[in-house]
Amino acid sequence: MAPASQFSITIRDASPHDAAAVAAASESHVFSVTFGSHFPPQELEAYLNESYSMRTTKRISWTNKDMIAATIQGGDVVGFDLLTRGSSEPCVDGLDSKAELQRIYVQPRCHRTGIGKLLANGLEDMSKGQGFKHMWFRVLEGEPQRTESPKSFSRGVPGNPEPENMSLAILSDEQVRAVLESLSYEEAETLVDKLRSALYVYSTGRQPGGGEGEIVHQPERTVIHSKVTGATTLFMPSANSAGHAVKVVTVSGPDADPSRPTITPTGSVMLYSPVGTPVGLLHAKTLTAFRTALSSSCLLMRRASVQTLTVFGTGLQAYWHVRLALMLRGHTIKYVNIINRRFSDNAKDILKKFYAVAKATKEREGWESTHFNVLTPGYGDYPRLLTENLVAADVIFCCTPSTEDLFDAEILTNHQARRKGRLIVAIGSYTPKMRELPRELLLQATRAGSGGRHFHKHATEGGAVVVDTLDGALKEAGEIIEARLDPKQLVELGELVMLRKLREKERTHALSDDGESVSESLGKLDINSKSAPGGAGRPGSGSSGSGSSGGISVRDFFHKRSSSRAAAGDDKDKTQQQRQDEEREDHLARWIRDGNVIYKSVGLGLMDLVVGMEVVRLAREKGVGGLVENFSS
């Protein structure tokens, strides 16, 4: 049979109209093979139509069952699976919130194509969407006449092993790009949610030995330098409940001989199931650029105003930061200003890529009328135009391996510029000697406010710089090192993207002796300074987060939580405390939504793991890439 990559496979909900096709694809086929020789053809057909089609129709229509069908070209049903709610057996009675995978079937002619895996994934997503935590099925042990022995099976529960005879998905860089360029809004949003959840687990301290919950391992990267080739190779492992991954990337070393050709960053990501079964091998170039942009999108999605983008650089990182912004917020984006050192081939290519996006895609994403501009120092009025592009920007993406500031801090730190809130993302510099943002800009962002009134109404400053990984930023981010920021002045992205989840957990779970309550942490925020309207520079926006400079500080909220337990009070006190917590958290949310937010990313392997797994899943669903069948058998 042809591999899945040569199929156009559709996984969808089954309807009563599919009954005959489902019956023909499954039970009737089994009956025909087993007993067909004992019946005349006409009698066999009549029996199958009466017995199996009718039974299948009823099964599809039952209120406690859901069926998913797999179809190929022409709409032929070639497989199905069945989810049953409310069934149980003694061996699974101890599991709460469970559903039974009652049946899964794929026509023999379509075996070894990956359809069974797609059906199982579809049913898993359905069970999760219905709120189930466990999925189980029955296994026949020994000869068929023996009693069925139910076995516990929990595909939807983190940490459960995948089958050992899985196929290995292999995707070239072009195939990875094809999957990502074809993302729908819903698929892109799902990717953001997946990464947001993983970063939340990583940042909130639920690490090995840190108690119950998901486990994340994020070791430091290993670096080797070759004096012979001048190459530097980085090994970046990571693991979580979904599996583990190792990314290997080779670049030109910092002390490479300038007479040698520059090594363009290249490498791959190898993905494994939780039990070590190889799952996928992906080229790392586009994947790395995309996953970095996806982490920035965790903040971009929370911004109230995203109309003007200004991006430094014209490489893959710059492209995917803008492309994802258009994919997720295209209906609001009016201008994209690209700034580069010169009008290079890369500058021409990035424009060609945006213009080459299909008109139907632009219309679907809402940016068919967006204006693109390129600015280089070659323009005679470059300083003025640079200032205008920065001041007008709602979002600034810095995507260059620069060793000096990309712009003068005064452009954004003067009183007039600070009236408008901006999201500033810096991802291009990744060594202590590199930097893109001026020191004064970071110091302004981390300066503690006095809480007093100020003549100028400034957008909210959070009192901290957002980073993807605290340890990585302190060791590798040139801007952080030059500004001499300490851990108290940094907050990890994963701690911000799910603020409400923190408080919800506190309300439903008892505090451990070694953890501080969210109520206590929220209580440390300085919100004495009241918000003033117009912080994001939008007329009539009374809910914006402007106020006095530094009117809120997130530093103590997230770092050095004490070991004290929250004091218990009466119901009235608790209600009052909850209101105070919500007020403080709402102020923090306004900072993320409307204020001046700086995000510095140096990257971590967990991003490659999470996004890589999702790319493999999407590639299988879309029939993209190659499959090595029975790779682990």
pLDDT of residue 508: 43
Distance in angstroms (rounded) separating the CA atoms of residues 266 and 248: 8
In the block, tokens 């990314």 appear at: 247
Distance in angstroms (rounded) separating the CA atoms of residues 339 and 437: 15
**In contact, 11 and 118? CB cutoff 8 Å:** yes
Where residue 97 falls (left for φ over 0; alpha for ψ -120 to 50; beta otherwise) is left
pLDDT of residue 43: 65
- Helix H or strand E encompassing 267: strand 266-272
Residue predicted with more confidence, 463 or 549: 463
Distance in angstroms (rounded) separating the CA atoms of residues 292 and 500: 24
Tell me what the pLDDT averaged over the chain comes to.
77
Distance in angstroms (rounded) separating the CA atoms of residues 629 and 168: 7
Residue predicted with more confidence, 52 or 592: 592
Q: According to the 3-state scheme, what is the secondary structure of 333-352?
A: CCEEEEECCCCCHHHHHHHH
In order of their start, the domains of the chain are 4-157 (3.40.630.30), 320-602 (3.40.50.720)
pLDDT of residue 374: 96
Q: Which of 188, 546, 595 is nearest to 394 (CA)?
A: 595
Distance in angstroms (rounded) separating the CA atoms of residues 85 and 64: 5
Residue type, 48: L
Distance in angstroms (rounded) separating the CA atoms of residues 493 and 197: 11
DSSP three-state, residue 466: strand
Is the model's pLDDT at 242 over the cut of 70?
Answer: yes
**CA angle 131–137–138, rounded 5-degree value:** 155
Cα–chain center distance at 155:
20
- Helix H or strand E encompassing 492: strand 490-492
Q: Which residues fall within 8 angstroms of residue 7, CB to CB, at 6 or more apart?
A: 72, 73, 113, 115, 623
- pLDDT-derived band at 61, boundaries 50, 70, 90: low
**In contact, 379 and 385? CB cutoff 8 Å:** yes
Copy the structure tokens of residue 391.
């001041």
Strand order of the sheet with strand 335-339?
371-375, 335-339, 308-312, 395-398, 423-426, 597-600, 465-467, 490-492
pLDDT of residue 496: 85
Distance in angstroms (rounded) separating the CA atoms of residues 589 and 79: 47
The whole-number average pLDDT for the span 154-175 is 63
- pLDDT-derived band at 69, boundaries 50, 70, 90: confident
φ, ψ of residue 174 to 5 degrees: the values are -65, -35
Q: Which residues fall within 8 angstroms of residue 527, CB to CB, at 6 or more apart?
A: 551, 552, 583, 584, 587
The whole-number average pLDDT for the span 446-450 is 65
Beta-ladder partners of 532: 546
Distance in angstroms (rounded) separating the CA atoms of residues 271 and 605: 11
Copy the structure tokens of residue 430.
């990744």
pLDDT of residue 215: 75
DSSP three-state, residue 152: coil
| 30-44, 62-76, 211-225, 414-428: range with lowest mean pLDDT | 30-44
In the block, tokens 């049953």 appear at: 84
Is the model's pLDDT at 57 over the cut of 70?
Answer: no
Helices (H), 407-536: 410-413, 439-446, 470-476, 478-482, 493-496, 499-508, 518-523
How much of the chain, in percent, has pLDDT values that exceed 90?
A: 45
Residue predicted with more confidence, 195 or 456: 195
Distance in angstroms (rounded) separating the CA atoms of residues 175 and 10: 19
Beta-ladder partners of 151: 137
The whole-number average pLDDT for the span 411-419 is 93
Distance in angstroms (rounded) separating the CA atoms of residues 152 and 134: 9
Is the model's pLDDT at 379 over the cut of 70?
Answer: yes
In the chain, how long is the greatest CA-to-CA distance? 95
DSSP three-state, residue 65: strand
**In contact, 243 and 273? CB cutoff 8 Å:** yes
What is the DSSP secondary structure assignment for residue 204, as one 8-state letter? T
- pLDDT-derived band at 586, boundaries 50, 70, 90: confident
State the burial class of residue 598 (Cβ atoms within 10 Å of its Cβ: 0-12, 13-18, 19+).
Answer: buried
**In contact, 296 and 599? CB cutoff 8 Å:** yes
**How many other C-beta atoms can be found within 10 angstroms of the C-beta atom of residue 570?**
8
pLDDT of residue 135: 81
Q: What is the DSSP string of 571-622?
A: HHHHHHHHHHHHHHHHHHHHHHHHSBEEEE----HHHHHHHHHHHHHHHHHH
The whole-number average pLDDT for the span 363-384 is 95
pLDDT of residue 218: 92
pLDDT of residue 523: 39
Copy the structure tokens of residue 368.
């068919």
In the block, tokens 């069934």 appear at: 87
Copy the structure tokens of residue 102.
């009652």
Copy the structure tokens of residue 470.
């605290």
The whole-number average pLDDT for the span 422-439 is 93
